[in-house]
């Protein structure tokens, strides 16, 4: 695959490195000269110096034959323009944008970007693990069909605690992709997997089902094994 990455910061660098190791053809576009030199010393002759938002630079980078364009600069507006121009002008089949302000996920989706990746939400989840507000975190938007990958943390008093996956009635077109136990161990889901408090359940779901999914996995049990359960505030 030919992948063009715009933005040679830490994210761009590590992404380029990983894709190269997997045998893909990669081009990294970076504006800053000194940074370009460092990237070239590390990664070899795969760096193009220039403003990745400029159509001239995109032509030079071969956007017209790129299978994927990934925009990972620190500015959401630049990432948006790179992806939109890649699609409108060069018909790039897939575009991925990093978003820095989590609220822009919706904007990018409405403006036609295939995928967005958002570190802020993921980090927030770790900082504010105890806050129920962040019970559902967006990990990835998949535009084809309006699917989302989300992570839901199972609270201690949830009704689903102790149940097997096959006993949990998820909203339509929701599939559990992965379960991460509280100690961080990832586990492939199985119909007999028992849900524990603190489990992070990674689910692919439809956008409109998010709310009912969150409710299913987090609403408190009405009755515990020893009578009514008082849910914490």
Partner 1 sequence: MGCGRVGSELACQLEAEGHQVTVLDINPDAFRRLPASFKGRRVVGNGIDQDVLRRVGLTEADVFIAVTQGDNRNVMAAQIAKHIFQVPRVICRIYDPIREEIYRGLGLETYSPTRITVGRMKEMVLQEPVPRRE
Residues that bind partner 1 (CB under 8 A): 53-56, 75-78, 80-81, 84-85, 88-89, 101, 103-104, 106-107, 110-111
Cβ nearer to partner 1, comparing 1 with 88:
88
Q: How far is CA 101 from CA 84, 105, 128, 134, 164, in A?
A: 18, 8, 17, 16, 36
Helical spans, DSSP H, in 65-140: 76-90, 104-110, 119-127
Contact of 179 with 201, CB cutoff 8 Å: yes
Cβ nearer to partner 1, comparing 103 with 164:
103
Cβ nearer to partner 1, comparing 78 with 121:
78
Q: For residue 69, what are its two tokens?
A: 């364009």
Closest distance of CB 110 from partner 1, Å? 6
Closest CA to 15 of 97, 95, 72, 86: 72
Cβ nearer to partner 1, comparing 25 with 51:
51
Closest distance of CB 135 from partner 1, Å? 22
Other beta carbons less than 10 A from residue 151's beta carbon: 21
Closest distance of CB 6 from partner 1, Å? 12
Cβ nearer to partner 1, comparing 7 with 155:
7
Closest distance of CB 148 from partner 1, Å? 18
At residue 150's C-alpha, the angle toward residues 9 and 148, to 5°, is 90
Closest distance of CB 219 from partner 1, Å? 28
| Half-sphere exposure at residue 115, Cβ-oriented, CA atoms within 13 angstroms | 14
């Amino acid at each position: 695959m030919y992948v063009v990455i715009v933005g040679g910061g830490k994210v761009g660098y590590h992404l380029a490195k990983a894709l190269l190791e997997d045998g893909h053809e990669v081009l990294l576009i970076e504006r800053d000269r000194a940074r370009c030199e460092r990237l070239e010393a590390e990664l070899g002759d795969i760096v193009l110096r220039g403003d990745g938002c400029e159509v001239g630079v995109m032509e030079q980078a071969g956007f017209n034959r790129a299978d994927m364009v990934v925009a990972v600069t620190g500015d959401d507006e630049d990432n948006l323009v790179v992806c939109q121009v890649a699609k409108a002008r060069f018909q790039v089949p897939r575009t991925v944008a990093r978003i820095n302000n989590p609220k822009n996920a919706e904007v990018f989706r409405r403006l036609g970007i295939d995928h967005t990746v958002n570190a802020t939400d993921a980090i927030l989840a770790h900082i504010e693990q105890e806050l129920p507000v962040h019970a559902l975190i967006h990990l990835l938007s998949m535009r084809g069909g309006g699917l989302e990958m989300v992570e839901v943390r199972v609270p201690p008093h949830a009704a689903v605690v102790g149940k097997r996956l096959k006993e949990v009635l998820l909203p339509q077109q929701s599939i559990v992709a992965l379960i991460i136990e509280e100690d961080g161990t990832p586990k492939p889901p199985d119909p007999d997997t028992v849900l524990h408090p603190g489990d992070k359940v990674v689910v692919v779901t439809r956008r409109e089902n998010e709310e009912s999914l969150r409710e299913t996995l987090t609403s408190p049990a009405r009755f515990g094994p020893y009578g009514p359960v008082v849910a914490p505030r």
